[in-house]
Amino acid sequence: MFNFIIFGPPGAGKGTQAKKISESFNLIHLSTGELLREEVSQQTAIGQKAQTIMATGGLVGDNIVDEIIRNKIKKNGLSTGFIFDGYPRTISQALKLDILLAPKTLPLVLNLEVSSEELISRLKLRGQKSGRADDNETTVSNRLLVYAQETQPLLDFYADKKRLISVNGRDSIEEVFKHLQEQILKRQ
C-alpha cells in the first residue's frame, strides 16, 4: 500500500491531478482546501475561523488542519492508500503526517512544477469561471508569497529524505497525468 502527496504552488493543478490519480489507483483523495471550504460553507466553528484566513490567502493554523487530517485517517484506516492534496503545507504539518502514518507507508511526494506567470493566469481564469473568493489578484499574490515562505521549504525536506519526485506541471492536464502515472507505476 502506497501513500502520495500531490505538491505544488497554488494553481499548479494539485486538485485536478489528485482526483484523476485517486480514481485510477483507488486511493482516498484528501484535499484540505476542499475540507476547509466545506467547513466554511457549513459555518462550523472551524469554518468561521478559517474563512477570513482563506479569503486573504494565509494558511489556516496547523492544529486545525492536523486535526482534520487525523480524523479522516482514523475514520478510513490505513488499509487503503491516500493521496494528500494541499497537505502538508508547513514543516510542522509534514512532521505530524509522518507520525500519523506507519513507517513503511510514508508518502512519496509528487511535485508539480509550474511558472508563476502560468499560475497567475490559471487562477485568474478559475476565479472568473468558478467565482472562488480566493482566486482574485490580491489574494493570489499573497498565496504565492505564503507558498514561497512556508511551503516551498518542504521540497528540501522531502528531497533530503529521497521522497521527492518532480514533474513538469505546465503540460496539458492529460500529459501531466500520464507522467504522474508513469512515476507511480515505477514504484508499485
- How near is the Cβ of 13 to ligand B4P at its closest, in Å? 3
- How near is the Cβ of 37 to ligand B4P at its closest, in Å? 7
- How near is the Cβ of 19 to ligand B4P at its closest, in Å? 8
- How near is the Cβ of 2 to ligand B4P at its closest, in Å? 20
How far apart, in whole angstroms, are the C-alpha atoms of residue 94 and residue 80? 20
**Residue placing its CB nearer to ligand B4P in the complex, 29 or 126:** 126
Contact 13, 110 (CB under 8 A): no
Q: What are phi and psi of 162, to 5 degrees?
A: 60, 40
**Residue placing its CB nearer to ligand B4P in the complex, 1 or 133:** 133
**Residue placing its CB nearer to ligand B4P in the complex, 7 or 164:** 7
Taking CA atoms, 98 is separated from 4, 39, 74, 95, 106, in Å, by 12, 25, 14, 5, 6
- Residue with the CB atom nearest ligand B4P in the bound state: 33
- How near is the Cβ of 58 to ligand B4P at its closest, in Å? 6
How far apart, in whole angstroms, are the C-alpha atoms of residue 26 and residue 20? 10
**Residue placing its CB nearer to ligand B4P in the complex, 86 or 107:** 86
What nine digits make up the cell of 156? Answer: 528540501
Q: Rule CB under 6 A: which residues touch ligand B4P?
A: 8, 10-16, 32-33, 36, 53-54, 57-60, 65, 86-87, 89, 93, 122, 126, 134, 143, 172-173, 176
* Buried/exposed 128-142: b ≥16 CB within 10 Å, e otherwise: eeeeeebbbeebbee
